[in-house]
Amino acid sequence: MNDTSEIPNVEVRHVGDSDVTAFAAVVDALADIVAQHETLYDWASGLPQPRALRGRAPVYIAALPNTPDTIVVRHGWHGGLLAPITGDRFRLPTRAPLEMCQSYALRRVGIPTSDVLGFARYPAGPGLRRIDVVTRFVPDAYDLGMIAAGLAPHIDATDAMRATIVLLVQLASHGVIHPDLNVKNILLRHTPSHAPEAMVIDVDVVRWDATRAPSVTMRANLARLLRSMRKWRTNFGCDMADERLARFERDALAATPVR
């Protein structure tokens, strides 16, 4: 799926040369913000004491007016070697619709990920747009890197690693490879049972192939994540010794479903 019109209850609002695509429950509130503040990101960044999160640029948390939702507003930026040239300009239709579709598809099959509520696109030249993406805020969630570095006091690193294996098994079961799987793209949150649950984020890049053997998917995701873990250990000196990583890899491979 790569067309948001296939997602139930998604609507589009045009605000001048900009457009907002979102679930019906929030689309009017988002469109009103764009009409008043030009961009969602400008609005969120200007709120009193905004909370900045991870990302290439600050990512803001805000209460969405006239709704019960607390949202995260992220501005879209290119990565990679061409980032200094392309910056935050994307060719239509941009990657925002794909991210919303991927999020919906993953959650529909039971893979935990951020709930993309919508996005806004703004003109940036002929055939080009800048984008803001809106997700539902997940309270008390920490990325795997923060947990490994001891910066998440309420989530034990061993429990987080176990929960991450559960997530890797879910991805393998559905043939989902995340080509940029790293310690910042896995969030851990508490569940009602207090055991942490791992979520995968930044999912616009994921690749699906239900016919791929789960073991192949598992090894691909593991290779990327282990490389990130070793890099994180080098940069931050956290508790990810070779023995611990080897045990994590063995346990993940042993849990891989056979088909």
Give me the DSSP letters along 62-74: EEPTTSS-EEEEE
161 and 118 both lie in a single domain: no
57 and 178 both lie in a single domain: no
Residue that finishes a domain, picked among 120, 136, 152: 136
Does the global pTM surpass 0.85?
yes
92 and 111 both lie in a single domain: yes
119 and 199 both lie in a single domain: no
Residue that finishes a domain, picked among 112, 136, 160: 136
Give the number of domains in the chain.
2
153 and 78 both lie in a single domain: no
**122-165: per-residue pLDDT in tens?**
999 999 999 999 999 988 889 998 888 888 878 888 999 999 99
**Distance in angstroms (rounded) separating the CA atoms of residues 207 and 181:** 12
User: Would 69 be classed as within a structural domain?
Assistant: yes
**Distance in angstroms (rounded) separating the CA atoms of residues 75 and 54:** 12
User: Would 106 be classed as within a structural domain?
Assistant: yes
Least confident range of 158-167, 184-193, 237-246: 237-246
Q: What is the mean pLDDT of the chain?
A: 90
241 and 215 both lie in a single domain: yes
- Report the 10 Å Cβ neighbour count for 128: 16
State the pLDDT at residue 162. Answer: 95
Least confident range of 31-40, 81-90, 126-135, 178-187: 81-90
62 and 148 both lie in a single domain: no
97 and 184 both lie in a single domain: no
User: Would 111 be classed as within a structural domain?
Assistant: yes
**Distance in angstroms (rounded) separating the CA atoms of residues 144 and 152:** 9
User: Would 259 be classed as within a structural domain?
Assistant: no
* 56 vs 84 pLDDT, higher one: 84
Please say whether the beta carbons of 189 and 115 come within 8 A. no
pLDDT band, residue 234 (cuts 50/70/90): confident
State the pLDDT at residue 55. Answer: 53
**8-52: per-residue pLDDT in tens?**
999 999 999 999 999 999 999 999 999 999 999 999 988 875 555
Residue 54 has pLDDT above 60, yes or no: no
State the pLDDT at residue 191. Answer: 77
249 and 161 both lie in a single domain: yes
DSSP helix/strand/coil, 31 = helix
* 78 vs 105 pLDDT, higher one: 105
State the pLDDT at residue 124. Answer: 95
Q: Which domain holds residue 104?
A: 4-136
User: Would 93 be classed as within a structural domain?
Assistant: yes
128 and 187 both lie in a single domain: no
Residue 239: CATH number of its domain: 1.10.510.10
State the pLDDT at residue 151. Answer: 81
Residue that finishes a domain, picked among 74, 102, 136: 136
User: Would 227 be classed as within a structural domain?
Assistant: yes
State the pLDDT at residue 249. Answer: 95
State the pLDDT at residue 246. Answer: 93
74 and 119 both lie in a single domain: yes
Residue 53 has pLDDT above 90, yes or no: no
9 and 105 both lie in a single domain: yes
